[in-house]
Amino acid sequence: MDWPEIAGLCQKELEGLRAGLPAAAAFFPSGDQVASTFLVHERQTNSAVERAIGQFAADRTWPPMSEIERTMLCFRLEFSAALAGLLAEQPAPWTDSPESQNDEDRLEWLMLFAWEQEGFSLLHESLDRLVETKSES
């Protein structure tokens, strides 16, 4: 599986999961506390989401998850689809190598390591900016 295929897979899964969920705003009742509420949800669902990602990476199935777990997984899938899309557009010499064709390793790296290193912190910074903007209005 190459990066364009992974991007498509993540996007397809994201759309499928979102179709059966209420709007994400339903899980963030106070606009003034979006960032802190997000952190609470992230901490509470992290283990279940990580297990679900491991299962999906191994056999392309999702275990049963609560609505908030699926919502938090959607944040990672959105990030993963975007990042895989960027990786698919890498200019030479930054192209895929034949040695890195392990789908399970790629999916887990994308949704676990990359999320931990960049995705979550960037999202949190964005949420902080949104909260500041709302407070200043």
Q: How many domains does the chain have?
A: 1
Query: For 51-99, what is each residue's pLDDT tens digit?
Result: 999 999 999 999 999 999 999 999 899 888 888 887 777 655 545 556 5
Buried b (16+ CB within 10 A) or exposed e, 56-75: bbeeeebeebeebbbbbbbb
Interacting residues of 6 by C-beta distance below 8 A, sequence separation 6+ = 80, 84, 88, 103, 106, 107, 110
Looking at the domain assignment, is residue 58 inside a domain?
A: yes
> Where in the chain does DSSP place strands (E)?
none
How many other CB atoms are there within 10 angstroms of residue 84's CB atom? 26
101 within domain boundaries? yes
pTM of the model: 0.74
Instruction: Examine residue 27 and state whether it is found in any structural domain, yes or no.
Output: no
**Cα separation, 40 vs 134, whole angstroms:** 20
Which candidate, 57, 54, 55, 50, places its Cα nearest to that of 73?
50
Q: Would the pLDDT of 47 be above 80?
A: yes
Is 97 among the domain residues? yes
Give residue 104's domain range: 3-22+32-136
In a domain, 59, yes or no: yes
* End-to-end Cα separation, the chain, in angstroms: 46
Contact 74, 24 (CB under 8 A): yes
Residue 56 included in any domain: yes
> Angle at the Cα of 68 (from 65 to 74), degrees rounded to 5?
85
Confidence check: pLDDT of 49 > 90: yes
